[in-house]
Structure 1
Amino acid sequence: MPDLRAHHVGITVSDLEETLPFYRDVLGLPVLDRFTVSGDAFATGVGVDGATGTFAHLDAGGARIELIEYDPDADPCTAASVNQTGAKHVGLAVADLEAFYDGLPAAVETLSEPQTTESGASILFLRDPEGNLIEVLEA
């Protein structure tokens, strides 16, 4: 069996132009690439008839975050909390979680102030403009 390695974490968004500035400007992730993919092979590959995907790839320090807006779009399925079956989140590490938290714009929704868990990790969960969960941690 071939060796697998992570390539990206994908997040489907309803409005790429509205969501991308959050990841680029608020979280400070550089944009690596932007592109659109369509055609029969893409639609068959993703299992969505007539699909077109508009993509932005961002560099998260060794991991790639892929934001994708689909046409046609579908009903939203954002999980309200992390303990729901099927819930997902992206985890990003920082050297100083308190400084990161203090630097967040007031409009960014967080689930709480930074918390230090019994494992010793400090965590902060926030939401992007579409409600997707992002964990920022200081291990």
Structure 2
Amino acid sequence: EQKRKEKRREKRKEEKRETRQEEKRERREKKRKAEKRREKSKEENIREKRKEEKRREKQRIGEKRAKKRTEEKREKKRKGKREKKRKVVKSREKRKEERREKKNKEEKRKDKREKKRKVEKREKKGKEVK
């Protein structure tokens, strides 16, 4: 009887010990898994951050390009307007010059005619006197 009780007690002790060991193992496993999850999460966060940084960089470059393009367009427009104004001024000057030249030609012609008339008058007078 006593031997049986002793055996049973030993058996229970052994089972308890095994249970404790099993629980310990499970706790360790649980901790290990949690650590793995944390590590994975960290890596994922790092990846996400990198992705976000790349996206931001791309966006920044795109904005820079767009700004440059709009500035170039604006400059082109300004240049075109300037060129147009310059052409208008040039043509205005040209017309002015043409009018001036025409006027001068007319003046010369008048002067020539006037001179001719004077010469003719003088000659006529000279003939009448003789």
With the shorter chain as reference, the TM-score category is under 0.3
More helix by share: 2
Name the TM-score, length of structure 2 as normaliser.
0.12
Name the TM-score, length of structure 1 as normaliser.
0.11
More strand by share: 1
Is the radius of gyration larger for structure 1 or structure 2? 2
